[in-house]
Amino acid sequence: MRASRKVKSEKLKVKSHKNSSPLTPHSSLTNEHISGAEGIYEEPEISKILREYTERALNHPRGKPDEIIITVEKIKQEPEKIPSLPVTTLKCSSPFEAKKIIKNILGNISISEAAIETAFNVLYGKQTMRGAALVLAGSGKRAEPDKARGIRVSRLGITKNAQKSLSLKLSKYDINNSTVREAIILASKVASCSNVLAELCISDDPDYTTGYIAARQFGYVRIPNIKRKDSRQGGRIFFIKGRSSISAIVDYLEKKPVLINEVSEGRGILTTDEILNSNNR
């Protein structure tokens, strides 16, 4: 029994990211962050995961990497166990409609117009952030310590049984792919942070046009056509409570190991009104 507890507590994290190549032989290295992924795994899985992450980095739609960095780190702290957020897909036909939906949903959980406008400036701006922005839900002011780096959610994963359950549930709605699964895992960890009211995310991948809102009240809400195809706009926003301890939020999101061990039921395709009037509040 002691040995099994020890193995269980010593999970491993694998993280991959890559940088773009110079545009010309004489240009400086841009250090543009192209992609990233990570998880918490048992030690025997590491070799397989390393191969998968390398292959994924080499075939990313944002371009070929000049450098791939993979880090394997032993996690000694026992991960906190949480359930995944329930998944819903909204009916949305355009970025214009997506903005109205976002304002409607976020406004219903006390996130101000100023905060939403700050989020739009980040997400639809010309430059994309490497990490997430922290936005105060009332004033709309940004609060992350380093505005270039942002907040990088780390040390998160899902148990094997929960992974199988999540895949089965997502397959019912034909959305069982690594992009959706990984986003749900990340969003579930963020939502488990008591001082985060909601997350708003738009992928900066040019061929992926479905974003999401995630919150404890509504779960993980997918928004199709949140941006136009081939757009590299995107980013991630965490709306936080006023008078929150920024250092405590950053510490939880970046350093606290969290593992999903239970999967919530999905709710299919709904309208905004059905989301707002749902029992998951």
Grouped pLDDT means (10 residues each) for the chain, 281 residues: 31 46 30 63 85 77 71 88 97 95 96 97 84 96 92 94 97 94 97 97 92 96 95 94 94 96 93 80 47
Among 21, 47, 77, identify where a domain stops.
77
Residue 122 sits in the same domain as residue 60? no
Query: Containing domain of residue 261, as a range?
Result: 81-276
- CB-count exposure of residue 62 (10 Å: 0-12, 13-18, 19+): middle
Residue 68 sits in the same domain as residue 149? no
DSSP strand pairing (219-223 vs 211-215): antiparallel
pLDDT of the residue at 262:
97
pTM: 0.84
Among 77, 101, 122, identify where a domain stops.
77
Sign of CA dihedral 26, 31, 32, 36: positive
Number of domains in the chain: 2
Is 281 contained in some domain?
A: no
How many Cβ atoms are within 10 Å of 127's Cβ, its own excluded?
9
pLDDT of the residue at 30:
43
Residue 67, beta-bridge partner list: 19
How far apart CA 256 and CA 20 sit, in angstroms, is 30
pLDDT of the residue at 24:
28
Residue 112 sits in the same domain as residue 158? yes
Residue 184 sits in the same domain as residue 45? no
Residue 238 sits in the same domain as residue 103? yes
pLDDT of the residue at 60:
62
pLDDT of the residue at 280:
47
pLDDT of the residue at 63:
63
pLDDT of the residue at 111:
97
Residue 145 sits in the same domain as residue 188? yes
Helices (H) and strands (E) in the chain, counts: 8, 13
Q: How far apart are the first and last CA of the chain?
A: 40
Residue 73 sits in the same domain as residue 115? no
